Structure 1
């Protein structure tokens, strides 16, 4: 019996994924449905690994590639996404197929057929060895220690340790250092989130990412949000209400 885990934050897309999966494999069991990276990490920690994961990339609480830095993932993954810019990362992280939205059933079925061919090729002991290799001996994730900012004056090399936070301004990601200087980056905020150490950096909302060492204090605000005061900065940041519980856990707060 095929055991599937679905990771998708948009209800219509989740419904379609569920329908396509059961249309292709009527006897399959959907063992879990997650809308956030944190939910998927908790599920994988508490349950046996599914046979296959069907996953979007941009989720409610960030980029699904964060998942691979938080928990050992031994299952193959079919990525179903509206973005074509994550292809390399997808195949570096257990990806066996990459399906672009809007999804047509023929595309989905082709990806599932690829999974079936791989599954048959690695049945029995070979499949167990593959799972052990993916889940237990995978190298520890490496995170960026330096970023590059291009400007008319030339290239600025930015040490990640010196940056207080990242902010989306007019659709462009900026790095802000401890002195308040802003540097334009070519990466998106989601790409930065996936490239930076999640133990040191936290996505507060859709437009801001903060470094732990830059936080001076937190102040409760309305609607279960928190105002983040930064060391040496008059600027404050605010967590979104759906990110506040995860922020509290990240900081070790009750």
Structure 2
């Protein structure tokens, strides 16, 4: 069994390594990734693993963004501390959903489910079936903001960026108006088209069409100048390389 491990916390990764080899000593962890960008790069350059074990909240955002960037044909066991992503997990190749803290019995049950599926569909046939039944990504074109004045329907195409302010997510349109959202930035990453939206840092997500120009800053960060509203955002240094690639399509 060839396994790709996607986990950004070393204690959790170490536990999963132990559980994998306890369950099947001959299993091979072909790679370990801590970020969505790393996982995407690995899957683009290597054959699909038999199975993916994946956390959901990673260093550079939500793992569901991975499914919008590349075609993932391997079945996935999601291992997370959050119980709010169950529907999305099973829409994106998920065959099991294990909550942290992980107990070996839960982990073994998930692997046994994978084994049963593999025996039924035999390797490549399983991957082909998953690819066929996995729905094409459908991204949000409209969001809802609730306020005392009522509900505002926000067209995603008219929003310039999203920003976390005092722990609350705000959507800012081209006129500079801010609307409060219930979704977190990580949830928005999974809901919005990754070809059009990019997570600049822990608190900001920007739309491509809103960007006017970029300016080098310090420590490999970039200042992002927006057309409307006229304002600037700043990329974090570890996101800058991926930002450059994103801008080039």
Question: Which consecutive segments of 4 or more residues in structure 1 shift more than 6 A?
Answer: none
On the 8 A contact 1:200/1:212 being kept in 2, the answer is: yes
Alpha-carbon separation, structure 2, partners of 1:104 and 1:19: 12
Of 186, 198, 219, the residue aligned with 1:223 is: 219
Name 2:173's counterpart in structure 1: 177
Name 1:113's counterpart in structure 2: 112
Per-residue CA deviations over 1:44-78 (Å, capped at 9, x if unaligned) read 12111111100000111111111111111111111
Per-residue CA deviations over 1:189-221 (Å, capped at 9, x if unaligned) read 111111111111000011100001111111111
Alpha-carbon separation, structure 1, partners of 2:33 and 2:228: 39
Alignment of 1:12-51 (within 5 A): 12-51=11-50
Residue 15 to residue 145, structure 1, CA distance change in 2 (3 Å): same
Alpha-carbon separation, structure 2, partners of 1:232 and 1:156: 20
Alignment of 1:32-71 (within 5 A): 32-71=31-70
Name 1:207's counterpart in structure 2: 203
Q: Name stretches of at least 5 consecutive residues in structure 2 with no aligned partner.
A: none
Of 150, 154, 177, the residue aligned with 2:150 is: 154
Q: Name stretches of at least 5 consecutive residues in structure 1 with no aligned partner.
A: none
CA offset at residue 225 of structure 1?
0.7
After superposition, the CA RMSD in angstroms is 1.5
CA offset at residue 151 of structure 1?
0.6
Per-residue CA deviations over 1:81-109 (Å, capped at 9, x if unaligned) read 11110011001111111111111222211
CA offset at residue 234 of structure 1?
4.3
Alpha-carbon separation, structure 1, partners of 2:38 and 2:140: 25
CA offset at residue 130 of structure 1?
3.3
TM-score, normalised with respect to structure 1: 0.93
Per-residue CA deviations over 1:126-170 (Å, capped at 9, x if unaligned) read x53332232367443111111111111111010001000000112
Residues matched between the structures, number: 249
